[in-house]
Amino acid sequence: MKRRIVAVTTLAAAAAVIASACSSSSPSGTQPSTSKAAGLLSTSGAGKTISVWLQSDAQKGWPDVVNQANQRFEQATGAKVNVQWQQWSNYTTKLDSTFAGSSGIPDVVELGNTQTASYIAGGAFADLTAAKAQFENSGTWLQGLADSGTSPDGKLQAVPYYAGSRVVIYRKDLFQKAGVTTAPTTLDELFSALDKVKASKSSDPNFSAFYSPGKNWYAAMSFVYGAGGKIAEQQGGKWQGTLSSSEAQQGLTQWQKLSTQYSVGGATKDESDQDAIMSQGHVGAILGNGWELGSVIDKKTGNPALASKLATFPLPGTEAGKYTPSFLGGSDLAVPQKSANVGLGAEWIKIFTDTQSQTALAKFAIPNTTSLLSVYESQAQANESTGEAAKNTWFVPNTPNWANVESANILQNALESIATQKSSIADAAKSADDQIAKTLNAGG
């Protein structure tokens, strides 16, 4: 029994090697008979079904956008679409084990934009460069998102899907009661406004003028980039953590002030439940994704009574008119290299990311192209701020090993020790720098 299984696996392994040897030379070469001469994209899909892995964010947030794309795809190609909703939890392990095997390979997958680089380096995706010109708006894709889907040698391997940016979500009513009637335009103004809000609620020991959880590295790194610092940089082919630089430490000091003087009870927590906490009413402001405003007032996840009391503004910078850059989070779409329908998968991505789809998506999230930002901003007041914030963003070092910095919680651990004041900023930054350098430079 055992021997038979070993024999089977050896055979399968050999087959996989041969298959990958063939397909790596030309991704579309695996399907020469079905691909049209037009190139990578394929529209001849009669009798076929493609499998698309999307995060359930779309299922809950914008199912109609997915449906209209599927309908147009089915009309254009004759193929059927089988959407499989995924969850972020344990997602990389699922992708890893799927791509390592040979069965059940989807034809389109969604990835978080900080994870994409490691899969591109692993050769997980088909090269879509040949079709780039046919993807609408590919000239105006959001820079950070487009970069995350491009390999170091300039090949397009993943297509921008949607983005998110962070803004200050605040309680207009509480700010007004404290005498703050206009949105702060500089960090100093923000801090003095928070002083007033804090003073006006001094009777509530649980009140956070600005709830800033200790593990929220998206927020902390925004201050680092806003002060002119960065997480890491490459010098002579080697990565170096640069959180110890004076600029970065200045940013961390600002963030520490926010997290220790204006925030109560979040020192050891991350940002995932900050909207639920805000909905309890003892929070003046948070730094959150635009959609989090919806979560604070949603009846399933928050408190609808706050609906009229919330507003947003972009996180101010050191001087007026210069915002603190926001982290550009988002998702990419890619066609697995082992997919049996590379051409059809690429065609589905083309339809799902074209102007029509993205215009519909712009009601719910930041679309993948700057040309549609105005559509997005016109949807709601909150969108004006997030759209504004999306124009000035930062992104993680775009290198395959970055995902491991995240999975090892290097930044979160350093930040928590800063927020709990267990170690000095300089010490925490130094220790994080060492770990970042070690992780990013890991060879092999």
Partner 1 sequence: MTATADVTAAQTTTAALKAPIRRHGARRRYATWAWNALAMVLAVVIGFPIYWMLITAFKRSSDITTLTPQFWPAHPSLRGFSDVLHDPIFIDDMRNSAIITLSAVLISLVIGFFGAMAIARFRFLGRKVFIFAVLIVQMIPLLALTIPMSLLLDSVHLKNALLGVIIAYLMFSMPYTVWTLRTFIANVPPELDEAALVDGCSRWQVFYKIILPLVGPGLIATGVYGWILAWNEFVLANTLLLTNDKQTLMIYLLIFQSSPVHGADWSGLMAAATLTSLPVVVLFVIFQSRISAGLTAGAVKG
Partner 2 sequence: MSIEIAPDEPVAERRRLVLDRRRGSRAGNLPYLLILPASLVLLAVAGWPLYKIITLSLQKQESGKYALFHNKGTTAFVGLRNFTNILSDSTFWTVLLRTVTFTAVNVALSLLLGMGIALLLNRVSRWARIILVAVLLFAWAVPSTVSTQIFYWLFSNQYGVVNYLLSEIPGVHMHGHDWFADPHQGLAVVTAVVVWGAIPLLAISLHAGITQVPRDTLEAARVDGAGPWQAFRSVTLPFLRPLLVILTTLSVIWDFGVFNQIWFMRNGHPEPGYQTLGIYMYSEGVGSSHYNFGAAVGVLMMLCLLGVMIFYIRQLFRIGDAA
404 counts as binding partner 1 under rule CB under 8 A:
no
Q: Is the Cα torsion angle 31, 35, 40, 43 positive or negative in sign?
A: negative
Q: What per-residue string of b and e applies to 38-77 under the rule 16 or more CB within 10 Å gives b?
A: eebbbbbbeebebbbbbbebbeebbeebbebbbebbbeeb
Of the candidates 353, 412, 442, the residue with the CA atom closest to the CA atom of residue 162: 353
- What is the full DSSP assignment across 144-193? HHHHHTB-TTS-B-SEEEEEE-EEEEEEHHHHHHTT--S---BHHHHHHH
- Could you tell me the two tokens for 191? 């801090």
Interaction between residue 67 and partner 2 (CB under 8 A): no
Hey, how many other C-beta atoms are within 10 angstroms of the C-beta on 194? Answer: 25
Stretch that binds partner 2, among 45-53, 193-201, 294-302, 436-444 (CB under 8 A): 436-444
Residue 204 C-beta: closest distance to partner 2, Å: 11
Site stretch for partner 1 (CB under 8 A), options 6-14, 136-144, 248-256, 380-388? 6-14
Distance of CA 429 to CAs 238, 255, 261, 328, Å? Answer: 19, 13, 20, 23
Cβ proximity of 395 and 328 under 8 Å: yes
Binding mask 325-364 for partner 2 (x = CB under 8 A): ------------xx--------------------------
Q: What is the contact mask toward partner 1 in residues 47 to 76, using x (rule: CB under 8 A)?
A: ----x---xxx--xx---------------
Is residue 406 near partner 1 by the rule CB under 8 A? no
117-176 positions binding partner 1, by CB under 8 A: 164
Phi then psi dihedrals of residue 368, to 5 deg: -80, 0
Using CB under 8 A, which of 39, 63, 78, 122 touches partner 2?
122
Q: Report d(CA 106, CA 116) in Å as an integer.
A: 16
DSSP helix/strand/coil, 208: strand
- Our finding on whether 408 is near partner 2 (CB under 8 A) is yes
User: What are the CA-CA distances from residue 5 to residues 9, 11, 278, 350 (Å)?
Assistant: 6, 10, 55, 41
State yes or no: residue 332 binds partner 1 (CB under 8 A).
no
Phi, psi dihedrals of residue 206, rounded to the nearest 5°? -95, 5
Residue 88 lies near partner 1 (rule: CB under 8 A): yes
- The residue from 39, 44, 68, 291 that contacts partner 1 (CB under 8 A) is 291
| Identified binder of partner 2 from the candidate list 180, 220, 315, 403, rule CB under 8 A | 403
| Contact residues: partner 2, CB under 8 A | 1-2, 5-6, 9, 13, 16-17, 20, 24, 92-93, 96, 99-100, 118-119, 121-124, 205-206, 215, 264-265, 267-270, 272, 280, 282, 337-338, 400-401, 403-404, 407-409, 412-413, 416, 420, 442-444
Contacts with partner 1, residue ranges (CB under 8 A): 5, 8-9, 12-13, 51, 55-57, 60-61, 82, 84-85, 87-90, 93-94, 96-98, 100-104, 106, 112, 164, 206, 272-273, 275-277, 279-280, 282, 289, 291-292, 294-296, 298-303, 305, 329, 364-365
